[in-house]
Amino acid sequence: MNPIITAADLASELAGPRPPVLLDVRYQLGGPHGRPDYDAGHIPGAVFVDLDAELATPPGAAGRHPLPDPSVFGAVMRRAGVSAHAPVVAYDAAQGWAAARAWWLLRWTGHTEVRVLDGGLAAWTGPLETAAPEPAEGDFMPAPGALPVLTADTAAALARSGLLLDARAGERYRGEVEPIDKVAGHIPGAVSAPTTDNLDDKGRYLPPQALGARFAALGAEPGTEIGVYCGSGVSAAQEILALELAGFHPALYAGSWSEWSQDPDRPVATGPDRG
């Protein structure tokens, strides 16, 4: 299944016989919280999902956004109306980070019909509503393991044997700034691949051919084992979606830099080179 859907196609499906469950996952790193924006106006029928509280466990040794407990995640999805064999569409404001996190989690736990609204709410030209819906309980039961994940150790090994992409901004990769975590730099051997380069100037994903050329220039080839990390495992999901559009099937290092940089024994590279 194509992992993205246009606003026009979404409008058509919502009016059709098999409308998707809508998840509004608006989120901004460091705030403000996305719920007030949801309450001010959302796509009709969309259910708000809180990334910090419902798509992650509390921050700690495993990073700032550790993967949620599957049973808790499943309960959140069922309350939102998600069922095993019904389509789901997630959206955020525009850049696709939070929506891709929901997409990745559903895919990882076995849901096969989930997509992200290309361009986010900014691309939607239809009506908005302010009332929160009360969907019927879904039946989705998560079964983790459908997508590959990396640990700190396997990410380090992949940086040497395959291609490990760092999805953060280039200045964070190079160690010039670090606004969130205590240590600046990148995992030795990782390649800088900011998520902003996956989108056009309207916040929509580049065509698959353009994405394929982008990742090929970074070292991705057919058969290459690829992993992705970011600051805390959120924006990396957007990069994974872009890689899937280009025909690759990468693994996510969920702990990402926020986990890696907590251990003083783990090496840190700085500068523009892989290290």
Q: Quick one: pLDDT at residue 17?
A: 97
* Spacing of C-alpha 222 from chain mean position: 23
Percent of the chain with pLDDT over 70: 100
Q: Per residue in 173-223, pLDDT tens? A: 999 999 999 999 999 999 999 999 999 999 999 999 999 999 999 999 999
| Residue 29 in this model has a pLDDT that exceeds 90 | no
CA distances from 141 to 18, 24, 58, 72, 73 (A): 20, 20, 22, 10, 9
Residue 150 scores a pLDDT above 90:
yes
Sequence-separated (6 or more) residues with CB below 8 Å from residue 194:
167, 168, 169, 170, 173
CA angle 27, 31, 35 (to 5 degrees): 55
For 107, residues 6+ apart whose C-beta sits below 8 A from its C-beta are 114, 146, 147
Domain range annotation of the chain: 4-123, 149-260
Q: Do domains 4-123 and 149-260 have the same CATH topology?
A: yes
Nearest to 52, CA basis, from 38, 64, 37: 64
CB 258, CB 59: distance < 8 Å: yes
Please name which of 29, 54, 41, 19 lies closest in space to residue 122, comparing C-alpha atoms: 41
Exactly one of 49, 121, 191, 230 is catalytic; which is it? Answer: 230
Are 227 and 193 contacting, i.e. CB atoms less than 8 angstroms apart? Answer: no
pTM (whole model) above 0.95: yes
* Burial class of residue 192 in the structure, from the number of CB atoms within 10 Å of its CB (0-12 exposed, 13-18 middle, 19+ buried): buried
Q: Please, where are the H alpha helices in the chain?
A: 7-14, 35-40, 51-54, 70-79, 97-108, 152-161, 170-173, 208-217, 235-245, 256-260
CA dist., res. 275 & res. 273, Å (int): 5
pLDDT at 32: 83
pLDDT at 226: 98
Residues 6+ apart with CB under 8 A from 180: 29, 30, 64, 231, 258
Per-residue pLDDT band for 2 (boundaries 50, 70, 90) equals: very high
Contact criterion met (CB below 8 Å) for 228 and 39: no
Q: Is 186 helix (H, G, I), strand (E, B) or coil?
A: strand
The class level of CATH for 4-123 reads alpha beta
Tell me which CATH code domain 149-260 carries: 3.40.250.10
Is position 230 annotated as part of the catalytic site? yes
At a CB cut-off of 8 Å and minimum separation 6, what does 237 contact?
97, 100, 101, 103, 104, 252
| pLDDT band with cut points at 50, 70 and 90 for residue 261 | very high
